[in-house]
Structure 1
Amino acid sequence: MKYLITLFLLITSFAFSQVKVGGHIVDEQGEPIPFANIIFKGSTEGGVSDENGKFYIESENTYTELMISFLGFETKIIPLKARNFDLKIVLKEDAAALDEVLVYSGKTKKKGNPAVEILKKIWAKKRQNGLRLYKQYEYDKYEKIEFDLNNIDEKFKKKRLFKGMEFVFEKIDTSNITGKPYLPIFINEALYKVYGKNKPSQKSNETLIANKNSGFDSNQELIEFVKQLYVDYNIYDNYLKFFDKSFTSPLSRTGVSVYNYVLADSAYLGNKWCYNIVFYPRRKNELTFKGDFWVNDTTFAIQEIEMNATRSANINWVKEIYVAQEFEVLSDSVFLLKRDHMMSDFSFNSKDKSKGVYGRRTTLYNNYEFEKERDDDVYKAKVSSYEEEIYNKPDDFWSENRMEKLNKDEVGVYKMLDTLKTVRKFKQLYNVGATLATGYWQIFDGFDYGPLFSSFGSNDIEGFRVRVGGRTYFSQNDTWRIQGYAAYGFKDDKVKYGISGKWLVDKRNRIILSLGNRRDIEQTGVSLTTANDVLSRSFASSSFFSRGDNYSLTNVNLTNLAVDVEPIKNLNFRLGATYKTLSSAAPDSLFNVSYFDKNGFEQAKIKQTELDVGITYTPGRKTAGFGVERNVSNEGRYPTVYLSYTKGLKGFLDSDFDYDKLQLYYRHRVLMGGFGKLKYFLEVGKTFGEVPLTMLDVVPGNQAIFTAPRTFDLLNYYDFVTDEYAALHIEHNFNGRIFSRIPLLRKLNWREIAGVRAVIGNLSDKNVALSAFDLQGKAPTKPYYEYFVGVDNIFKFIRIDFVFRGNYLDMPGATKFAVKGGFGFYF
């Protein structure tokens, strides 16, 4: 992401195709004609106008005439020049087609529509095409990811920002999709070998053969970010998932309820007779496309498809989405994907002349094999490790193996960025972008100051709090890292600190050793799941805004030694040993972590040694980098299972308690087509043995004014304490499905949210008696729950929740209703 921010700070003479055409289509009254069909006469090359009647198409071939057609209007043919921009094309109503117009009434009919009849045959035949026909398969895959700055004009080039960097504008080209001038500024190329099998069970593995970056050595972050935006998809699926949203596919079985279909043409593509079907949405503000596809008349397999997301779709920061696929014919009947291209126009607003960034991914497929039988190990995903040879292939290798030649401007990007890296001003801009994205500021090579966003805070014990810190950072692939901080509270006049180190000792199995120590004030009880991360920081002990007083803070002195192993991709095992001492940060307040020993004496400090084993499995997760720390792109997208066992060792290093604790959670987010997305989190746990408050499971309250994941917004800290529990969090984002149907709200692009949280638990009498803090009646023996409704995407990044308490209304100081806020980057 930091590169994307840097490139937005930088944001084109034209490169020449044979024919370029752009403009808008209107009727005789000057009203725009949306989704009109535009085609170069005598070809199958063309496109569809958008909902405002605007269009742009181009071709490398020479055409002299353009044909424009739409139901109920006369087809118009106009002569072309090499450059045809800002055309205004007026279509006249076709008197002979008036009956047809009356029948369709602006929307195509479903019954008796030949396009819909063809669509039904596509549904019936879709499982008889493609890779799923074969027991096993393998193929070569070439992927090119590119970022381009767009809408660059002469005025923009002369800005003082670019003084000394004018040479970057020498590589300007013109988009063959939008007609806008653009400047390529980043390219990544990758070659893969893909292995898969369908029987007896579906498995696949993608092995990276070669990778080439333009620019900076840590571009894996940007590459993985783009790949998560442009996830693989199957055009035959009912829903296509882009930008964490589910678009209704034009080939979906539910497509007839959201799309209009028109049989526009039929012709030979190669030696195959195909039908051309145009589709466009029935309503605005839904996640749909407009475009056309060519389908074979016997296999009813798609041979070509092009489509653009409608501009009215409820997506932030994305002005255009263009998708195109081409298929090749194998054995005269089976259609296999040959080329997949997706382009998005990222911009802060949707105005035509606003500047932004094109993000493009082009994927080509070749050398399909179906007869080779492989060992099962070939199909298993491997843990990624950095291999220098993969990232340093010579130019001759790429000339021989890339499946699509780079154009002259793409070739120039490599040289341009090598030069740009030597420019002092660009380095400064790059560092600003990196700081905004990561929260760390590079002081000198190998050391970053930060995180900046934790520099200041406030709580009832420390008063105003100042924190300074840093980390070693030579590259994204560092095999070791040391980080630490020091903090000072002006009210308690005490210095706190934390320091931690990690070392990747085995890249193949990702064996990581870590050691650290922290002495600080902490808000314990903000998570049911036990965590001994040395540098974790509680939001409650350093926030400026909170609800009510909070003296329930704890002095923590924690030392942790751990080893992590990832023998199978995305399956992590962790073994840790922890020694910690705990005492109340405000011993004179009502809150107290003290306990009664076997003689009945109150002990103010707890000393505890424990061992813990944790297993985390996140199938499908994508990571960037190969070092001791990796970046995860949108981790919540993947299901996660976590299981842990903690053993308290009484007597070891003068430890106070012997106990056993088991915890298990499962979280997942499900995209539910046109109904939005559902997130849920389920956790259970139990503690065996007699332990005081700080060893128990505290139901996490949230006294901050902002929402926090896996907490209960209307509970105070330590309202409920358990030694066995079950908790459930459910949240559904309707993605604007309801608001899009309300005229006054439609243009705001707000999104509706609803959810519920619940917890039930018990607490043994022995643990109640052991703790000095009054735990009587603290367990939620009948389920506590709260529910909420909210509005997301206010000004594109603000969320507001209205939270209601469901029960336990008579608890002392109970909060029955609250309004919570949140911020986030949403597509």
Structure 2
Amino acid sequence: MKPHLKKIILICALVMPFFAFKAAAQQTVPASRTVITGTVSDATDKDPVPYATVLFKGTGIITKTDVDGKYTISTSEAHTQLQISYVGYKTSYVTVKPGETQVVNVKLQSESQKLTEVVISSNKRPAYRNKNNPAVELIRKVIENKAKNQNKNYDHVEYQQYEQMLFSLSNLSEKFQNKRIFKNYQFLFEKQDSTKIGGKLTLPVFMEEKVSQVYLQKSPDKKKTIITGDKHVNYDSKFIDTEGLSKYFERMYADINIYDSNISIVSNQFLSPIADSAPTFYKFFITDTIKTHSPQLIELSFIPRNNSDLLFEGKIYITMDGNYAVQDAFLTVNKNINLNFVRALEAKLDFDKNPDGRYHLSKTNLIIDFGINKNKGGGFTGQRTVKFNNYKINNPQPDSVYRGAALVVNAQAGLRSEQFWDSQRQNDTLVGANLKIYKNIDTLQTIPSFKRTMDIVTLFFAGYKDFGPFEMGPVNTFYSFNSVEGFRLRLGGRTTPALSKRIYFETYGAYGFKDEKWKYFLSGTYSINNKSIYAFPQNFVRASFQRDTKIPGQELQFVQEDNFLLSFKRGENNMMTYNDIYKIDYTKEFENHFSYGLSFRKWTQKPAGSLGFYSFNADNMVTPIDKINTTELTVNLRYAPYEKFYQGKVYRTPIIDKYPIFNLRYTAGLKGVLGGQYNYHNFMASIDKRFYLSQFGYTDVTVEGGYILGKVPFPLLTIHRANQTYAYQLMSYNLMNFLEFVSDHYASIMIDHNFNGFFFNKIPLLKKLKFRELVSFKALYGGLRNENNPNTNPSLFQFPKNEQGVSTTNALSSTPYIEGSVGVGNIFKLLRVDMVRRFNYLDNPGVSEWGIRARVKFDF
């Protein structure tokens, strides 16, 4: 090792013990770490003792055993005695060897053995009960006093917030580091204490720092966040959406407020240990009294009643000054928890005292380690540290502070100097140890082999191959098939910012070998705000022309029809249309996530396959219609407060949260304009919302309704979204056939509930498999007025019929269409399988009452 590297390692070992490197053992000065692991158990019944205190005697180097009685403690100082204690047991002292890694198992003797009289007792511990339990009585006091100990209790609160997010490949082996592919990247690897979460070797890949000024007002309830500093690793946008990645990490590592009933972590909600219902789901134990602190603190440890439920375990420190406030908290999870890929989770919350004697959150540190293998192998470790400074209470701000959007980014936020960031970090070694990642990633992106690797990764996950100013894809559409076109080949792509930052072109060409027809698409987009058309907030105008086939009623945001995997369909599905669409769009998004879109479309539809357009003339003779011409003007309004998403190459992937999404669409048919044949007004509104139900999982609900004014043929009615593939589609009716139901007025509700394993966790085999139970319910009520029903108005286009002359397209009667499913999710941590049942309209031709559908769904 080079001399200057040895100096760096020695300095780190002295000033940053939590990030200390292993140094060579020395006889005079023990620079090597003493690392001790082991289990603390009851000497009589051999049961593990959870949350026992383990420390090096006479020091503040301390830890606690976990729920299984296991512990790890380490130091670089020369200490030779370990002290282990727990309420109800005699304190034990064990001699250890400094500078070595060793296993020390400890058996604690019951305190009752000090008594002189004979005590007859059972070796079996009494059953845990809430009644007459001082720990439960204490937590109920905490719950009773929650309201006055929260930020919301103050009329006004303001503070400055510094946060740092670090994400690393972790627990990497020396063999992995020395692989040939990393020959030029050795500068990226970092070594750390092997006892820390993430293992001894990490490769930092993402880092972000933010500084915000936050203002809170109680009445009326208002919050204003002004981001004054923003610094993060910048990847090439053609490979990674850095901003989207940041939003995704923010959702996984959300702010932790122990006073909330439910705490969001890794897209799940955990019941807080001080929630109103906490005594029902947790066991509480008084494990220590800290008299040296003012006010005196009680250490309250807690574990789940069922160790595989989405619950925390850990300890909280309660002030005994009449406020019963949380002064500090340590949260972790049991290894048996039904949480995918999470190998370890730790959250530390620190509180400071306000002038009025109450406490506010001053610092949080959340670390989560992910891996496919629970016990070994490489993985990912994320760490988010948040510090709250300059905390002020009851300092009113003028109304002007709260005007405008709730979140505002200062124009200079991304341009702050290093002096600014140094002052915000406040010489914190925890947040300062990782700063070289900025330079490392910039260097990494200049290495040709890294660029080649990212090209391959982008092709595999996003489906595009980059050629500089043009990228080709998506690859999953190159080959598909259907009953009308037969074997279909398609090739396309789009320009990149390397050609122009403001002007984008997209195109594809396709050919069907059965119908022997060419299909093609061409669009040009101009970015008005000089940003990528995919970057938030969008502001662009687009003109396009498309000639292609389409299944009536299927919209691209629900089904990508030429996706190869969706070519496999059940039943008959040979009714399609050939479409010529000329279109001009304008889209405008705002920082508050309100957006509107204007669209002008000239649309020609021609029947294809077994679909035909027919009506009866005055002589009651069948008259075939070659095509339908429509001209439409559409206005779309959308509001998605606090929405977060990851922007892929084409689509945005929403990061679903508790906030609703509102949509309103109005389309006007313009007769006589550019050949349009019909006047009509089409209204549609929808609301999407996720409801979190604590230990019972979460429910996704979509409510939608629509109404069409005017007389139109059935291709222009609302053709309800059906699914004839074998994939389970959340927003479609999975046992409804294509073009089976049409309406000019309708209302629908879709409910999808995930129990997150609440019931399966109580069944031993299923608990081990970590399966999750799901149920869904979908109902559609609608109908046709007489003016739009060909069964009562022969002059309209007649509904399609099968070879037996039975109509395959129908209007809903007074009975709603209903289907439901029960499913098992998290199979191999990726697969969801549902058994779907259709409850009515079973006499319609070609329908199925039951079906098995599968969906690939990545969950934590």
TM-score (norm 2): 0.86
Match of 2:157, as an amino acid? Answer: Y
Task: Spell out, residue by residue over 1:702-751, the C-alpha distance to the aligned partner (whole angstroms, 9 max, x if none).
Answer: 11011112211111111111111111111111111111111222101101
Among 626, 634, 641, the alignment partner of 1:612 is 634
Q: Residue 540 of structure 2 aligns with which residue?
A: 512
TM-superposed CA distance for 1:787, in Å, is 1.4
Label 1:58 to 1:452 Cα distance change in 2 as closer, same or farther (>3 A).
Answer: farther
CA contact (8 A) 2:252 2:266 kept: yes
Q: Which moved more, 1:146-155 or 1:548-557?
A: 146-155
TM-superposed CA distance for 1:199, in Å, is 3.1
CA contact (8 A) 2:612 2:624 kept: no
Greater RCO structure (CA 8 Å; 6+ sep): 1
CA contact (8 A) 1:205 1:379 kept: yes
Among 310, 334, 346, the alignment partner of 1:322 is 346
Among 788, 800, 816, the alignment partner of 1:783 is 816
Q: Residue 579 of structure 2 aligns with which residue?
A: 556
Among 577, 585, 609, the alignment partner of 2:608 is 585
Q: Residue 8 of structure 1 aligns with which residue?
A: none
SS in 2 for 1:553: strand
TM-superposed CA distance for 1:577, in Å, is 0.9
* 1:462-477 correspondence to structure 2 within 5 Å: 462-474=485-497
* 1:153-168 correspondence to structure 2 within 5 Å: 153-168=173-188
CA contact (8 A) 1:525 1:698 kept: yes
Q: Which moved more, 1:468-477 or 1:119-128?
A: 468-477
SS in 1 for 2:147: helix
Label 1:404 to 1:343 Cα distance change in 2 as closer, same or farther (>3 A).
Answer: farther
Q: Residue 27 of structure 2 aligns with which residue?
A: none
2:82 equivalent to 1:66: yes
Among 776, 781, 786, the alignment partner of 1:760 is 781
2:92 equivalent to 1:76: yes
TM-superposed CA distance for 1:95, in Å, is 6.6
CA contact (8 A) 1:26 1:88 kept: no
TM-superposed CA distance for 1:248, in Å, is 1.9
Among 658, 665, 681, the alignment partner of 2:679 is 658
Q: Which has the larger radius of gyration?
A: 2
Match of 1:503, as an amino acid? Answer: Y
Label 1:557 to 1:808 Cα distance change in 2 as closer, same or farther (>3 A).
Answer: same
Among 707, 710, 717, the alignment partner of 1:696 is 717
Among 720, 737, 740, the alignment partner of 1:716 is 737
Q: Residue 331 of structure 1 aligns with which residue?
A: 355
2:41 equivalent to 1:35: no
Whole-Å Cα distance in 2 between the matches of residues 758 and 32 of structure 1?
53
Aligned length, in residue pairs: 804
* 1:168-247 correspondence to structure 2 within 5 Å: 168-169=188-189, 171-174=190-193, 177-178=196-197, 180-216=199-235, 218=237, 219-247=242-270
* 1:302-381 correspondence to structure 2 within 5 Å: 302-331=326-355, 333-351=357-375, 353-380=376-403
Match of 1:483, as an amino acid? Answer: E
Whole-Å Cα distance in 1 between the matches of residues 499 and 302 of structure 2?
45
* 1:85-124 correspondence to structure 2 within 5 Å: 85-94=101-110, 96=112, 105=125, 108-124=128-144
CA contact (8 A) 2:504 2:524 kept: yes
TM-superposed CA distance for 1:115, in Å, is 1.8
* 1:448-463 correspondence to structure 2 within 5 Å: 448-463=471-486
CA contact (8 A) 1:326 1:337 kept: yes
TM-superposed CA distance for 1:123, in Å, is 0.9
TM-superposed CA distance for 1:670, in Å, is 0.9
Whole-Å Cα distance in 1 between the matches of residues 657 and 420 of structure 2?
38
Q: Which runs of 5+ in 1 are unaligned?
A: 1-11
Match of 1:719, as an amino acid? Answer: E
Match of 1:782, as an amino acid? Answer: T
> Alignment identity in percent?
28
Q: Residue 16 of structure 2 aligns with which residue?
A: none
Whole-Å Cα distance in 2 between the matches of residues 261 and 17 of structure 1?
38
* 1:375-454 correspondence to structure 2 within 5 Å: 375-380=398-403, 382=405, 389-406=412-429, 409-444=433-468, 446-454=469-477
TM-superposed CA distance for 1:289, in Å, is 1.8
Q: Residue 706 of structure 2 aligns with which residue?
A: 685
Match of 2:597, as an amino acid? Answer: R
Q: Which moved more, 1:86-95 or 1:450-459?
A: 86-95
Match of 2:316, as an amino acid? Answer: F
Whole-Å Cα distance in 2 between the matches of residues 645 and 185 of structure 1?
48
Whole-Å Cα distance in 2 between the matches of residues 50 and 475 of structure 1?
54
TM-superposed CA distance for 1:122, in Å, is 0.8
Among 511, 516, 524, the alignment partner of 2:552 is 524
Q: Residue 4 of structure 1 aligns with which residue?
A: none
Whole-Å Cα distance in 1 between the matches of residues 358 and 681 of structure 2?
59
CA contact (8 A) 2:310 2:695 kept: yes
Whole-Å Cα distance in 2 between the matches of residues 477 and 38 of structure 1?
63
Whole-Å Cα distance in 1 between the matches of residues 638 and 446 of structure 2?
43
Label 1:628 to 1:824 Cα distance change in 2 as closer, same or farther (>3 A).
Answer: closer
SS in 1 for 2:544: strand
Q: Residue 854 of structure 2 aligns with which residue?
A: 821
Label 1:387 to 1:135 Cα distance change in 2 as closer, same or farther (>3 A).
Answer: closer
* 1:292-311 correspondence to structure 2 within 5 Å: 292-298=315-321, 299-311=323-335
**Root mean square deviation of aligned Cα:** 3.3
Task: Spell out, residue by residue over 1:592-622, the C-alpha distance to the aligned partner (whole angstroms, 9 max, x if none).
Answer: 2456789985422111111111111111212
TM-superposed CA distance for 1:412, in Å, is 2.7
Q: Residue 772 of structure 1 aligns with which residue?
A: 798
* 1:255-274 correspondence to structure 2 within 5 Å: 255-268=278-291, 271-274=294-297
Label 1:630 to 1:694 Cα distance change in 2 as closer, same or farther (>3 A).
Answer: closer
CA contact (8 A) 1:278 1:292 kept: yes
CA contact (8 A) 2:259 2:274 kept: yes
Whole-Å Cα distance in 1 between the matches of residues 202 and 143 of structure 2?
41
TM-superposed CA distance for 1:268, in Å, is 4.6
2:767 equivalent to 1:746: yes
Whole-Å Cα distance in 1 between the matches of residues 100 and 282 of structure 2?
31
CA contact (8 A) 1:593 1:604 kept: yes
Whole-Å Cα distance in 2 between the matches of residues 824 and 733 of structure 1?
12
Label 1:439 to 1:56 Cα distance change in 2 as closer, same or farther (>3 A).
Answer: farther
Q: Residue 533 of structure 2 aligns with which residue?
A: none
Q: Which moved more, 1:340-349 or 1:242-251?
A: 242-251
Task: Spell out, residue by residue over 1:48-79, the C-alpha distance to the aligned partner (whole angstroms, 9 max, x if none).
Answer: 33344433345688865433345665432334
SS in 2 for 1:123: helix
